[in-house]
Amino acid sequence: LLPLWLMHECFSVGQRMYFSPCMGLVMLLSVKDENDNMPVLTEDMFSGILSKGTKQGTSFMRVSAIDLDDPSTSNADLRYKILTQTPSQPLENMFQVDSRTGAISLSAEGSSLLDSSQVSNYKLVVQVKDLGNQSLGYRALANVEIAVVENTWITPNPVLLHEHLNVTYPKKISKVSQGKVHYYLKGSFPQGLFSIDLEGNIYVTRALDRESQAEYEIQIFAENEDGMLYNEPLELLLTVMDENDNGDVSLHAGSEIITLKAEDYDDPKTNNAKIAYEILSQEPQGSEGFLFHIGKDSGVITLQDSKLKTNAAKYYHLLVFAADLAGTEGGLSSTCTVLIKVVDVNDSPPVFSQTKYGPFSFPEDTEVGTLITTITATDADEEIKFKFVNFSVESGNEDETFKILSSPQNGTASIWLEKVLCTCACARYVLIVSVRNDEELVGKEQDASSTATVHVLVKDVNEAPVLTQKRYEVSIPESIALGTVLLTVKATDPDIHTPSLRNDSMNWLSIDEHSGEVRVMQALDREMMQDVYTVQVIAQDKGSPSMMVTADIAIHILDVNDNSPFLVGDYSKSHLCTPQREKQSIIISAFDLDGAENSVPLIFALANSPMLQRNWRINLINDTHAYLTMRISWLEPKVHLVTIILKDMTVCLCTMEGECMQEVGRMEGKPTVISAVSIIVGTLGTIGMELPTKTKETRKKCKACDNLYSP
């Protein structure tokens, strides 16, 4: 609504001012919005990164557009819809879009089928339309590119951190990754002790005190713009180490642990001040007595043997006795308790739960990505970081047919099929797999228990042969020489196969079962098959059951001029009258079995005889018919022998004089170049017809000069 104030003008005349009534008038105009703006995309190309394992319905990117129409009306009510997805594998509706917000997420099926090893990139076309759910409205199309990556939302490795660490804070201690999301932390720790930034870097903000808290379980959350969790929260385990922890030191028998010193204020030059030390008890007790020894005079506590293990006890309490008079009877004594903490070192190599796996049998048509087996190894060390292991294939996988994926925290590895199996390449695989700690071993070497073999057998599958073409086509003249190779049929099949022909009704062809060559074995005749002769080639293997594949061979037979024209019809009852009557004639018809390029138009001509030329005349009706009439008005009433020459058409190359450059020679077993037909005409009677030995003459049309000639 626009308020307009209209004022009357005030005016003056001479020295006096005259005022017309000045009054204000308010007019309210209501401006109604029209849908005259179409949606405008905020970006030319929308790009997003999608991690495998993202939950269904959790948006990972958004398509957005603006509409300058009134936002309170449907003119600016934008709706989004996915039109196409490329590629459409493994499902054509892997994604869904929120019709109102443009937020793109995985569908239920897409969440379970998403695999970056199969499809690493998707392209979507998303339509944005105004006028809400109405069918009309302006539309815009958004191009969306989605990169699919492996799941990066994985549990970070545990962190060991010394207490009272003198460094600059905040100090980075770990990192997670899930793309452009909002991170936050939860756990049983004071607020602000740990933090996480936009890149997923996790920090401790101040020094830690082991006596206050020795371990922290930090939960890590990742949310999208809508406040929805991308996936289940991760847990980071942080252990606070003693400030005087000396790290991974393996003590051997005789190693000094600590020195005890007792003081006696008697004269040090006498036995009254000479102190002797002895271990009275050890808790827990060892299976073979005391694990520790103390020097009687020195008070030095040493390790009795190298069998100290954290899995036996993490702490030992020693009750130590100290007495003067060198420990003899009657001296004064005192006791103290020594607490010894056993710190784990990586002195136990990981070992397989079994040294042989399999044999596992898989048919050679097993799909790539199939799980072969899962193998397991254990580690007797106590510290978490010493338990982390990695597996690798030492031999047997040189062609990378298999892929091994380690799970260091769980001590397992899964072996997957990475390439297509084929018995022709290898029928049995023996994989030598080893397992090692991430941390270096202390005081020990890997042994045979850290190696296992995995046996995989490949079972033969009778596969159908595959022809290199689904259809073969070839064009050949019908005069092609016998034995000519038309084409070669090739098939790919790991098994032995034999090719053969089917539907060769004329028995014109043969196929070599070894080379696949298809040859002409008998003379072809286009007139019998009307241009195309179709047979089938069969490639059949010798498996049980036998498998085969077929393909059509289409042979286009090109016409050659190998047929003479001939008269068609019975003229025995035809006659002419003398004297000649007006418009009387005999219609004669001829035909040539060759194709149009070697037959029509046919030429009808009288034999080169003066008498025939004087008495008779031939007039063409069309390409295959002509009139035979009397040239003179009166002929003697009798049976007349009229010799007619029939000629067909062919095209040849010509000399400068307009003559054909190639002679038409006699074909073995075929008619010659001239075809003469004699017709016996009886005036005032019937016509008799005789057919002498047929010969064939060809009328030649020159390409160069386009001249026609008649004998």
Q: Which has more pLDDT, 465 or 472? A: 472
Q: How many CA atoms lie within 13 A of 229 on its CB side?
A: 10
Domain-terminating residue out of 398, 431, 459: 459
Does a structural domain hold residue 15?
A: no
Predicted local distance difference test score (pLDDT) of residue 652: 58
User: Is residue 67 pLDDT above 90, yes or no?
Assistant: yes
Tokens 């030492």 -> residue: 394
- Alpha-carbon distance of 550 to 314, in angstroms, equals 75
Element (H, E) at 45: strand 45-51
Tell me the pLDDT of the chain averaged across its residues.
80
Predicted local distance difference test score (pLDDT) of residue 520: 87
Q: For residue 530, with 0-12 CB atoms within 10 Å meaning exposed, 13-18 middle and 19 or more buried, which class applies?
A: exposed
- First-last CA distance in the chain: 103
User: Is residue 169 pLDDT above 90, yes or no?
Assistant: yes
Residue 592 confidence class, pLDDT cut points 50, 70, 90 = confident
Predicted local distance difference test score (pLDDT) of residue 380: 79
User: Is residue 562 pLDDT above 80, yes or no?
Assistant: no
pTM recorded for the entire structure: 0.37
Closest-CA residue to 239 (of 350, 341, 157, 348)? 157
Residue 533 is part of a domain; what is its CATH number? Answer: 2.60.40.60
Cα 196 to Cα 174, 181, 192, 546, distances in angstroms: 9, 12, 10, 65
Tell me, yes or no, whether 313 and 379 share the same domain: no
User: Is residue 402 pLDDT above 60, yes or no?
Assistant: yes
Residues 76-105 pLDDT 10s: 999 999 999 999 999 999 999 999 999 999
Residues 251-264 pLDDT 10s: 555 566 788 888 87
Residues 272-296 pLDDT 10s: 888 999 999 988 887 777 888 888 8
Tell me, yes or no, whether 168 and 85 share the same domain: no
Predicted local distance difference test score (pLDDT) of residue 653: 57
Tell me, yes or no, whether 312 and 263 share the same domain: yes
**In 150-255, at which residue ranges do the beta strands (DSSP E only) sit?**
159-162, 171-175, 182-186, 194-196, 201-204, 215-223, 234-241
Does a structural domain hold residue 181?
A: yes
- Alpha-carbon distance of 534 to 546, in angstroms, equals 25
User: Could you tell me what percent of the chain has a pLDDT over 90?
Assistant: 28
Does a structural domain hold residue 46?
A: yes
Question: What average pLDDT score do residues 343-371 get?
Answer: 88
Does a structural domain hold residue 637?
A: yes
Assign residue 482 a region (left: φ > 0; alpha: ψ between -120 and 50; beta: otherwise). beta
Comparing 411-425, 517-531, 606-620, which segment has the lowest mean pLDDT? 517-531
Omega before 71 within 30 of 0, i.e. cis? no
Tell me, yes or no, whether 228 and 212 share the same domain: yes
Predicted local distance difference test score (pLDDT) of residue 320: 92
Closest-CA residue to 241 (of 388, 384, 444)? 384
Does a structural domain hold residue 492?
A: yes
Domain-terminating residue out of 517, 538, 558: 558
Q: Which domain holds residue 307?
A: 256-341
Predicted local distance difference test score (pLDDT) of residue 251: 52
Domain-terminating residue out of 558, 586, 605: 558
The values of phi and psi at residue 239, to 5°, are: -110, 130
Predicted local distance difference test score (pLDDT) of residue 1: 42
Does a structural domain hold residue 9?
A: no
Encoded amino acid at 393, one letter: V
- Alpha-carbon distance of 327 to 271, in angstroms, equals 9
State the total domains in the chain: 6
Predicted local distance difference test score (pLDDT) of residue 505: 82
- Alpha-carbon distance of 641 to 677, in angstroms, equals 10
Does a structural domain hold residue 708?
A: no
Helix (H, G, I), strand (E, B) or coil at 469: coil
User: Could you tell me what percent of the chain has a pLDDT over 70?
Assistant: 81
Tell me, yes or no, whether 361 and 477 share the same domain: no
Encoded amino acid at 199, one letter: E
Tell me, yes or no, whether 594 and 554 share the same domain: no
Q: Which residues pair with 240 in a beta bridge?
A: 161
Q: Are strands 639-652 and 697-702 parallel, antiparallel or unpaired?
A: parallel
The answer to whether the CB of 553 falls within 8 A of the CB of 517 is no
Residue 14 confidence class, pLDDT cut points 50, 70, 90 = very low
Tell me, yes or no, whether 660 and 604 share the same domain: yes
Tell me, yes or no, whether 449 and 551 share the same domain: no
> Within 510-609, where are the H helices?
526-529
Tell me, yes or no, whether 186 and 291 share the same domain: no
User: Is residue 187 pLDDT above 50, yes or no?
Assistant: yes
Predicted local distance difference test score (pLDDT) of residue 309: 62
Does a structural domain hold residue 1?
A: no
- Alpha-carbon distance of 564 to 393, in angstroms, equals 79
Using CA of residue 274, residue 280, residue 286, residue 287, what is the dihedral sign?
positive
CA angle 90, 91, 94 (to 5 degrees): 110
Element (H, E) at 386: helix 384-387
Write out the DSSP string of 238-297: EEEEPTT---S-PPPTT-EEEE------S-TTSGGG--EEEEEEEESPBTTB-SEEE-TT
Tell me, yes or no, whether 315 and 401 share the same domain: no
Task: Name the strands in the sheet holding 292-294, side by side, starting at the edge strand that comes first in the sequence.
Answer: 256-259, 300-303, 292-294
Tell me, yes or no, whether 520 and 584 share the same domain: no
User: Is residue 602 pLDDT above 80, yes or no?
Assistant: yes
Q: Which has more pLDDT, 80 or 462? A: 80
User: Is residue 668 pLDDT above 50, yes or no?
Assistant: no
Residue 677 confidence class, pLDDT cut points 50, 70, 90 = low
Residue 693 confidence class, pLDDT cut points 50, 70, 90 = very low
What residues have CB less than 8 Å from 441, skipping those under 6 apart?
A: 346, 347, 349
Tell me, yes or no, whether 446 and 525 share the same domain: no
Predicted local distance difference test score (pLDDT) of residue 660: 56
